[in-house]
Chain A
Amino acid sequence: MVPARLSATRLRMLSALGAAGLVLFWSVAAASGIVPRTFLPTLRDVLLRLIELTHQPFAGNTLQNHLLSSLGRFAFGFALAVAVGIPLGLLMAWFRAIDRIVAPVFEAVRFVAPIAWVPFAALWFGTGIGGPVLIIFLGAFPPVLINTYRGAQFVDRKYIEASRMLGAGAWRGITQVMFPAALPSIVSGLRISAGLGWQSLVGAELIVASSGVGYLMVKGQAGLSTATVMSGMIAIGIVGSAIDALLRRMQRAMEARRGL
């Protein structure tokens, strides 16, 4: 049975319950002392540190400024991944020839970690914005491409056939049929990709380190300040969740439109 929709209040209640569970788990683990406080600070410690970081600079910047410079790099790399990944995925699904050229290379290269490219990124771009953007791009690109490609490939043939029968060429077939049909899968890909792009940030910030949440976390780790590291994680978590929430909203709007 299609899972029944829940009322808004019920939904909020359950979500709150889930969040409370997470906090409880953390508190119990921290209080139990199984892990020394240096390594698992209490929620309170972390929140205090988080607040402190917003007005007291650490590693040269306040938390929000670190976040801002990270976001800038992320936006660049992610936008590039989307701009290349979606069209390429659709083209690969529509034209066999492109698929045959791109797929083998891509299938191999995507297994190389974005941070493994750090040395090359540093060699090619030095301190320029290109290095971090390349790293984030490498992280964010594969899920966009794969989900677009597979989503497009698994589009019910009858739609593709209908569009061909109605005289639509490659352009309209791709943009008006394949793309909307694959959209649910593409959005799933975007969600994963945003997550991975955001994660590659730490790697990206290994190249030019004077700002960014990744930099802040590395510094916090070296300074044995787990609260700082966790503040960074929370900041990343919040921003990442916000991006994800945006994408999920898109996903739901689409589901509703199609009566799913």
Chain B
Amino acid sequence: MHQRRIAAGSGPGSGVALFLGSASRALSAIGALLFVWWAATDGTGLVSSVRFPSPSETWVAWQQILWEGYGSARWHEHVIRSVALVTLGFAASASLGVALGLAMGSSRTIEALVNPAFLFLRPIPPLAWIPLAIVWLGLGDSAKGMVIFVAAFVPSVINSFSGVRQIDAPLLEASAMLDVRGWRYWREVLIPGALPSIFTGLRLSLQASWTTLVAAELVGAVAGLGQILNQGAQDIYTAMILVGMISVASCGWLMTLALGWVERRAMPWRAH
């Protein structure tokens, strides 16, 4: 009962206020980062632009991709393609992953059955699936989706699993005593009890989706942020790589904010 007390005075802020709060904090952090970057490169020349691009070079690369395009598409086309791909892969794998994790957590039989395959397939790099994905699914979006799916699956499973196992034993006992079974048991006991951990997993899955994008877009991308990174790497165009990185980072960050918003909605009983 004591976890409430910490934030009790302030009360839960509205979603907008929280968003603005974290946004302004992030903006100041970004501002500081920009300054350090500028000072280290353009400002003092401490870091030569051979090692790391300067803000001015990055600005030029940004203009180039924004207006002329790079890697066979313009910036907004890359962004739209990637966001769509990631959202799809993430949604599919997160929902299946959470379901499997919960199932494994709730039944030792399922855990024992699934574990060998899961433990074995898990450490295989998403990159390694690319040739098989190409063979099985061709060069379309489904192959990329598969690679993203594989990558995002694991964190969802593991965290949902351990989330269930961490639920206080008295609570599980109480629900057994109240004869809550089946779907209700899942919806009203297991899922809410595991929810904090599930969301940890979702955050990691979201990250895995984005990080795998680069690998996935080796599977012949017409456009996509991974394409900027691949092409930039081939061209040793560090400023453009940085533009790609910043784009990926911003997209991922925004999607995490959205996830955080959902998380607060989903767990109203927590004092935030």
A: which residues have CB within 8 A of B? 1-6, 10-11, 14-19, 21-22, 35-36, 39-40, 100-101, 104-105, 107-116, 118-120, 123-124, 139, 142-143, 146-147, 150-151, 154, 156-158, 161, 184-185, 188, 191-192, 194-196, 198-203, 214, 217, 221, 226, 229, 232-233, 236-241, 243-245, 251, 255, 259-260
Given contacts A112-B211, A237-B122, 8 further A-B contacts (CB under 8 A): A3-B108, A19-B117, A101-B29, A104-B25, A105-B33, A200-B125, A226-B131, A240-B124
Given contacts A18-B113, A150-B200, A236-B123, contact A192 B232 (CB under 8 A): no
Instruction: Give bound CA distance, A107 to B154, whole Å.
Output: 20
> In whole Å, how far is A118's beta carbon from the nearest beta carbon of chain B?
7
> Is the pair A147, B200 in contact by a Cβ cutoff of 8 Å?
yes
> Is the pair A199, B126 in contact by a Cβ cutoff of 8 Å?
yes
> Is B214 part of the binding interface, using a Cβ–Cβ cutoff of 8 Å?
yes
Instruction: Give bound CA distance, A201 to B123, whole Å.
Output: 11
Compute the total of residue contacts between A and B using a CB distance below 8 Å: 221
> Residue of A at shortest CB range from B250?
A108
- 184-221 of chain B: CB within 8 A of chain A: 196-197, 200, 203-204, 207-208, 210-215
Instruction: Give bound CA distance, A8 to B210, whole Å.
Output: 40
> Is the pair B249, A115 in contact by a Cβ cutoff of 8 Å?
no
> Is the pair B128, A229 in contact by a Cβ cutoff of 8 Å?
yes
Across the interface, which residues of B come within 8 angstroms of A188, CB to CB? 158-159, 162, 197, 200
Instruction: Give bound CA distance, A115 to B128, whole Å.
Output: 13
> Is the pair A113, B211 in contact by a Cβ cutoff of 8 Å?
yes
A-B complex: 10 closest residue pairs judged by Cβ atoms: A240-B123, A111-B252, A14-B112, A113-B211, A199-B125, A108-B249, A158-B2, A157-B3, A19-B116, A104-B29
> Residue of A at shortest CB range from B214?
A113
Across the interface, which residues of B come within 8 angstroms of A108, CB to CB? 249-250, 252-253
- 90-112 of chain B: CB within 8 A of chain A: 105-109, 111-112
> Is B238 part of the binding interface, using a Cβ–Cβ cutoff of 8 Å?
yes
> Is the pair A123, B238 in contact by a Cβ cutoff of 8 Å?
yes
Digit string of B119-145 for contact with A (CB within 8 Å is 1, else 0)?
A: 111111111100110011000000000
> Is the pair A113, B229 in contact by a Cβ cutoff of 8 Å?
yes
> Residue of B at shortest CB range from A244?
B119
Given contacts A18-B115, A188-B158, A245-B119, contact A112 B2 (CB under 8 A): no
> Is the pair B169, A2 in contact by a Cβ cutoff of 8 Å?
yes
> Is the pair A156, B252 in contact by a Cβ cutoff of 8 Å?
no
> In whole Å, how far is B244's beta carbon from the nearest beta carbon of chain A?
7
> Is B258 part of the binding interface, using a Cβ–Cβ cutoff of 8 Å?
no
> Is the pair B252, A110 in contact by a Cβ cutoff of 8 Å?
yes
Identify A185's interface contact among B126, B154, B200, B248, CB under 8 A.
B200
Across the interface, which residues of A come within 8 angstroms of B172, CB to CB? 1-2
> In whole Å, how far is B100's beta carbon from the nearest beta carbon of chain A?
13
Across the interface, which residues of A come within 8 angstroms of B166, CB to CB? 184-185, 260
Across the interface, which residues of A come within 8 angstroms of B3, CB to CB? 156-158
B: which residues have CB within 8 A of A? 1-6, 22, 25-26, 29-30, 33, 50-52, 105-109, 111-117, 119-128, 131-132, 135-136, 154-155, 158-159, 162, 165-166, 169, 172-173, 175-176, 196-197, 200, 203-204, 207-208, 210-215, 226, 229, 232-233, 236, 238, 241, 244-245, 248-253, 256
> In whole Å, how far is A36's beta carbon from the nearest beta carbon of chain B?
8
Given contacts A108-B249, A147-B200, contact A115 B117 (CB under 8 A): no
Identify A15's interface contact among B115, B241, B250, CB under 8 A.
B115
> Is the pair A113, B112 in contact by a Cβ cutoff of 8 Å?
no
Instruction: Give bound CA distance, A135 to B269, whole Å.
Output: 39
> Is the pair B29, A105 in contact by a Cβ cutoff of 8 Å?
yes
> Is the pair A116, B248 in contact by a Cβ cutoff of 8 Å?
yes
> Is the pair B123, A18 in contact by a Cβ cutoff of 8 Å?
no
Across the interface, which residues of B come within 8 angstroms of A217, CB to CB? 128
Across the interface, which residues of B come within 8 angstroms of A184, CB to CB? 162, 165-166
Across the interface, which residues of A come within 8 angstroms of B203, CB to CB? 146
Instruction: Give bound CA distance, A36 to B29, whole Å.
Output: 53
Identify A111's interface contact among B162, B233, B249, CB under 8 A.
B249
Across the interface, which residues of B come within 8 angstroms of A105, CB to CB? 29, 33
> Residue of B at shortest CB range from A1?
B176
Identify B238's interface contact among A6, A119, A259, CB under 8 A.
A119
Across the interface, which residues of B come within 8 angstroms of A233, CB to CB? 124, 128
> Residue of B at shortest CB range from A188?
B162
> Is the pair A199, B29 in contact by a Cβ cutoff of 8 Å?
no
> Residue of A at shortest CB range from B27?
A104
Across the interface, which residues of A come within 8 angstroms of B6, CB to CB? 157
> In whole Å, how far is A29's beta carbon from the nearest beta carbon of chain B?
10
> Is the pair B173, A1 in contact by a Cβ cutoff of 8 Å?
yes
Given contacts A1-B176, A39-B132, A113-B214, contact A22 B236 (CB under 8 A): no
> In whole Å, how far is A213's beta carbon from the nearest beta carbon of chain B?
10
> Is the pair A244, B122 in contact by a Cβ cutoff of 8 Å?
yes
